[in-house]
Structure 1
Amino acid sequence: MSYLTIDGSQGEGGGQVLRTALTLSILTQQNIELINIRAGRKKVGLLRQHLTCVLAAQEICGAITEGVELGSTRILFSPGQVKSGDYHYAIGTAGSTVLVCQTILPVLALAKENSTITFEGGTHNGMSPSLSFLEQSFLPVLKSMGVNCVVNTTKLGFYPAGGGKWQINIEPTQKLSPIHLSEAGSHFAQSSENCSLTVLVSLLPDAIGQREIATAKNILNWPDAVSQVQKVVTPGPGNSFQLSIKSKTHCSVFEMVGELGVSAERVAKRAAGRVNKFIHAQAAVEEHLADQLLLPIALAGSGSFTTTQLSLHTKTNIDVIKQVLGIEIQVEQINDVLWKVYLEK
């Protein structure tokens, strides 16, 4: 049996190489050998959330695997046929449930029948896309490409306690439709109706959220933007500060998760700084959504968007897609702060 060898140490050397490779392995029915898994991280190999990604990918297609265990830096993955259905994955830590979802969602989005997946673990940890981002930013774009998903949340889970639980229902499509996003987010940011500030707090004073909102409103000059401090129930304390700019197709979400020893004002300044960078660039897509859109565009066969400077994470994702699919997503620098990412038929 022949395998396509994918080096997990390339680029940013993290879990994205693993997730993208697993997704594309199933969709192309290509056997893969992943080596040097997460070689660029302090703790190399499969951690709990990465192991859950592999096990989820394995289950939905009945894959034959080798080396799938905690700490493993090399695995073999031979995919079988995709099976729609009901699945349940519990990470057992505050690891990102959204990243597990990211691995299998594109596959089940192109399956023959509906699927329902329940996840347990972390939902907002600051080091990966949150459940809020998934719902508000990514899934609306995916819907415009033909896939309708509905999220039902039982409870959220902040780092380090985790304990979140949520479910996604996926109505698949036969083929993803191309999408082209070029209208500048700064255009929508000019109206307070399109801008909002939301704070999720659990087991912490409301005053933290109120200080974050006040600081960001002042920096961004958003005095009339809708704002709210929302109390949520989670196993451990947590604070998620979210700034959103709504466009015709999606919300650009800029989120900072509070950390022990970091003031509310500092959290707000970091989030507002990202918003200002986005507005100044006149981009359509912020950097985290840019990374998430690469795979759907590749699967659609064409598409484009403008964004701010590409992260190493995004560049690595482009390289893995090229290696497995043999297609090259193009990147064109328009000016000092704006880039165009596109795939032509």
Structure 2
Amino acid sequence: MDQETEFITLDGSLLEGGGQVLRNCVALSCLTNKPVRIINIRLKRDKPGLKPQHLSGLQLIRDIFKAELQGDKIGSKEILFHPSDVDQNKTFICDTKTAGSIALLIQIALPPLLFSAPPQKSKLPLPPRTQKAILKGGTNVSMAPPIDFLIEVFKPIVQREFGFNFDINVIGRGYYPQGGGEVILSVDPLVNQALKPLNMIDRGKIINIKGRVTIANSPKDVATKIISGVSQALSNASLPELNNIKPDIEINIEKITFGKGHDILLWAETSSGCIISGSAVSNRGQSPVDVGKIAAEVLLRNIKHGGCVDEYLQDQLIIFMAIAEGKSRIITGPITLHTRTAIHFAEIMSSAKFNITKLESSESQQRVQEHSERLDDEYNVGLHMIECEGIGIKIAR
């Protein structure tokens, strides 16, 4: 790389200290055209440095933006990334060759792809070509959102609120440890258009609960047992707002080439358009009934806090709020460490400004379990409003 290039140096060990720092900062590097040097990558993990999933995501973005990339090897704790021009007329392929999360590949790829329209060759105002990426790895794995979450929760919210279009087509499922899943991500790039600001401050009333159980190369009665676990947990909770609401859970039976697995996504829809979710994927030694109970308990936890988004959607909205035009606002439950991390690095990489306000609510005393011991009390309990004055990124072609 050019020795005169000025890089923004970012410490990947700060706050949550995981792969999210890498994904968001590289995406923002492309969007702001700011070269980055990321050090101490995933330093707080048991096995620090780049894993196949992170390396694959980096190489995907490198290919899309013809970027210069150094340090792209398994175990690397430091990278240099310098974006350039958008590659044109190409379908990109990204294969983790493991059960690395496809959902997290989408997390790094989607924001840059939204602004990846190549220069117009015609004088006619033709719409830009849809950008496509074929992503291979795990669709339903632990420690990452299931692909169903992106389809049923993330996608409808961000499309409606921010005003852009994309599609997620699941070709095949992949579970730990073999992977083998495949998803096609199709994105319609924006031209001369900024994202709209997000405004989700009214939770509304829960009007239904839906779900999807997926069993892959597993006995059919596994699905029934998972649903039984859901029913037990919801019944034991005795939440008044769920009275007279019977979950509508579909069963999806898949034949996959590698391994086996099962999982469930539950989501509650509200009268104001909010979608609150809970999910669980099979782990060794865990019964199908337990899988159902865990998903229901996560859903209940996120319903009880009274916010408009769940703890998993919360941090994924931050990068879009930062690059949108105008003031975005969401009311949410406890602020996760992932969200605080996303805000910290979004403010460094852009001129977006965030503000978190604690709201008074006697009903909201739910704690975020993930990394809760590392969160300040003011963020760990209750309702909060996150506001952001976005930078309004717009690409002229």
Which residue of 208, 217, 220 maps to 2:222?
Answer: 208
Partner secondary structure for residue 142 of structure 1: helix
Q: Is the 8 A contact 2:153 2:276 kept in 1?
A: yes
Instruction: Give aligned-pair identity as a percent.
Output: 30
Partner of 2:330: 305
Q: Is the 8 A contact 1:200 1:239 kept in 2?
A: yes
Which residue of 183, 187, 198 maps to 2:202?
Answer: 183
Which residue of 112, 120, 123 maps to 2:139?
Answer: 123
Q: Is the 8 A contact 1:242 1:255 kept in 2?
A: yes
Alignment of 1:40-189 (within 5 A): 40-84=44-88, 85-112=90-117, 113=128, 114-144=130-160, 145-173=162-190, 174-184=193-203, 187-188=205-206
Aligned AA (2:182): K
Alignment of 1:224-235 (within 5 A): 224-234=246-256, 235=258
Which residue of 210, 214, 220 maps to 1:196?
Answer: 210
Partner Cα distance (2:351, 2:324) in 1: 14
Tell me which moved more, 3-12 or 229-238.
229-238
Query: CA offset at residue 269 of structure 1?
Result: 2.3
Question: Which has the larger helix fraction?
Answer: 1
Q: Please tell me the root mean square deviation across aligned C-alpha atoms, in Å.
A: 1.7
Partner of 1:339: 384
Alignment of 1:27 with 2:50, yes or no, is no
Query: CA offset at residue 196 of structure 1?
Result: 1.6
Query: CA offset at residue 213 of structure 1?
Result: 1.1
Partner Cα distance (2:274, 2:216) in 1: 27
Cα shift readout 1:187-244 (whole Å, capped 9, x = no counterpart) = 12xx3xx212321011222222212212222332477321232211222111111111
Q: Is the 8 A contact 1:197 1:213 kept in 2?
A: no
Tell me which moved more, 1-10 or 225-234.
225-234
Alignment of 1:270-309 (within 5 A): 270-301=294-325, 302-309=327-334
Tell me which moved more, 321-330 or 223-232.
223-232
Partner of 2:377: none
Partner of 1:241: 264
Q: Is the 8 A contact 1:195 1:244 kept in 2?
A: yes
Partner Cα distance (1:212, 1:197) in 2: 11
Partner Cα distance (1:141, 1:296) in 2: 12
Partner Cα distance (2:64, 2:274) in 1: 29
Cα shift readout 1:259-316 (whole Å, capped 9, x = no counterpart) = 1101223222222222222222111100100111011111104311122212111111
Partner Cα distance (1:333, 1:196) in 2: 30
Could you say if the C-alpha distance between residues 88 and 231 of structure 1 is closer, same or farther in structure 2, counting changes exceeding 3 Å?
same
Which residue of 3, 6, 25 maps to 1:2?
Answer: 6
Aligned AA (1:307): T
Query: CA offset at residue 344 of structure 1?
Result: 3.5
Partner secondary structure for residue 314 of structure 1: helix
Cα shift readout 1:63-113 (whole Å, capped 9, x = no counterpart) = 112211111111111110223542111110000122112112111112323
Which residue of 286, 295, 300 maps to 1:262?
Answer: 286
Partner of 2:277: 253
Partner of 2:124: none
Partner Cα distance (2:10, 2:116) in 1: 25
Instruction: Count the aligned residue pairs.
Output: 340
Partner Cα distance (2:255, 2:269) in 1: 27
Aligned AA (2:112): V
Query: CA offset at residue 250 of structure 1?
Result: 5.5
Q: Is the 8 A contact 2:9 2:37 kept in 1?
A: yes
Aligned AA (2:136): E
* Unaligned 5+ runs, structure 1: none
Which residue of 339, 342, 361 maps to 1:314?
Answer: 339
Q: Is the 8 A contact 1:140 1:250 kept in 2?
A: no
Partner secondary structure for residue 329 of structure 1: strand
Q: Is the 8 A contact 2:353 2:389 kept in 1?
A: no
Partner Cα distance (1:224, 1:250) in 2: 18
Determine which structure has more spread, i.e. the larger CA radius of gyration. 2
